[in-house]
Structure formats: C-alpha cells, structure tokens
Amino acid sequence: MVSAHGERAVGGAPPAEHRNLLPLKILVAGGFGVGKTTLVGALSEVPPLSTEQRMTSLSDGVDDTSIVPDKTTTTVAMDFGRVTIDDALVLYLFGTPGQSRFWFMWDELARGAVGAVVLVDLRRIDDCFAAIDYFENRGVPFVVALNEFPGTQGVDDDLVRDALAVPEGCPLVHVDARDDASCTRALITLVEHALAHSG
C-alpha cells in the first residue's frame, strides 16, 4: 500500500505518521439553509462529498426560502468532509439534512459521534430548536455556533443563550461558515467541550 505521500506501508499498515492519529466524528446540524454545507466545504481538506439536489416545486410551501431567496439546492442525505487539526487529531465532518422530513437519518449519522456543531441563523432562531433538543435528549455534547448572516452581528450572547435555553456550560461561538479559520476554532471548542464532558 502506498500513502498519499508516496510512502509504502509494511504489511498494509498505515504510514508511521498516521498511526497515532485520533479520528473523531463530528456532526454539523441546524435548520434549513443555515450554512451546514458551506461550513463543511470551507473546512474539508478533501473534496467534500455533498448530496445537494436542486430544489423543485415540490418544496413550495414546505421549505421556507423567504430569508434565503438565493438558495436553489438542499441537502437530501448528508455532507461529508475531513479536516486534520494537528499531528494527533483528524475530524470527520457529517452535515445533517436540515428539513424535518429527513430527520429519520439523524440517528444513523449520530452513531459514534463525539459531538455536534449546531449552526444558528439568528434571523430564524426557531429553526435550531429541533437540533438542540435532539442532542440534549441524547446526551451528545454540542456547541452553538452563531453563523454571522447580514444584520445578525452585535447581538448579546447572554440574550441568545436565554432565547435558546441552552445551559451555561454549553459553549456559544461565532462563525462565518465561509471562513475556515472561524469554523476551525468552533471545532476545537467542540472537541475540548466533548473531552471535558466525557471526563
């Protein structure tokens, strides 16, 4: 077997520099059109797998695009990406579909996950409650990531925390789903929170 770096592994074992990597599964969840696919795409070091499909007239009256009128596609299964944090940690990202008709897939996607990033669009705050409830009810550590859409900057974090009814111990972070640096910080915050939660 030859690695991506051209190094041959003995007996099919991975190259030495990859043997001590800790792989962690992370979910990226939230409501319809909140930026999950964008976040996975911004972070992934490999071409992200996406199941985005063009929206059709069948979604009229089902998916609310009034706040995101330019949205023409939607995730129907999952998004997948990979990001290496350092020499010891690699994260596998699974973006969940946002619409309620696809929630039956969440249990399978959540299997083996160490935690989740719940993306929130403060213009449509009600859309994130289902994701927050899902992870709270299953005891899965999560962080709330406020995606900075136009007009949502400067909102007081304590007011947001109260509105979302998330406990004080749940991290609240700000991200721009298009910016890999802010998204990476959110993932690191989640991993630290999950490790503390497991202890």
Tens of pLDDT along the chain (199 residues)? 344 444 434 444 444 455 578 899 999 999 888 999 999 999 999 987 765 555 444 444 444 555 555 544 454 457 889 999 888 989 999 998 865 566 667 888 889 999 999 999 999 899 899 999 999 999 999 999 999 988 888 889 999 999 999 988 999 999 999 999 999 999 999 999 999 987 6
pLDDT at 43: 93
Query: Which residues sit opposite 86 in a β-bridge?
Result: 89
pLDDT at 106: 80
Query: Is 79 part of a structural domain of the chain?
Result: yes
Query: Is 6 part of a structural domain of the chain?
Result: no
Query: Which residues sit opposite 81 in a β-bridge?
Result: 93
Site of tokens 């007239």: 57
Query: Is 5 part of a structural domain of the chain?
Result: no
Helix axes 180-198, 36-43, angle to 10 degrees: 100
Q: Which residues in 15-168 belong to E strands, given as ranges?
A: 22-30, 49-54, 73-86, 89-95, 115-120, 142-147
**Count of domains forming the chain:** 1
How, if at all, do strands 49-54 and 73-86 pair?
A: antiparallel
Query: Is 2 part of a structural domain of the chain?
Result: no
Query: Is 115 part of a structural domain of the chain?
Result: yes
- Report the CATH number at residue 77: 3.40.50.300
Which range marks the domain in which residue 121 is found?
21-196
pTM: 0.76
Edge-to-edge strands, sheet with 73-86: 49-54, 73-86, 89-95, 22-30, 115-120, 142-147, 172-175
Cα dihedral value 65, 66, 72, 76, nearest 10: -10
Query: Is 4 part of a structural domain of the chain?
Result: no
Please state, in angstroms and rounded to a whole number, the distance separating the CA atoms of residues 104 and 100: 8
Query: Is 171 part of a structural domain of the chain?
Result: yes
Please state, in angstroms and rounded to a whole number, the distance separating the CA atoms of residues 144 and 13: 38
Query: Is 9 part of a structural domain of the chain?
Result: no
- CA 13 from chain centre, in angstroms, equals 30
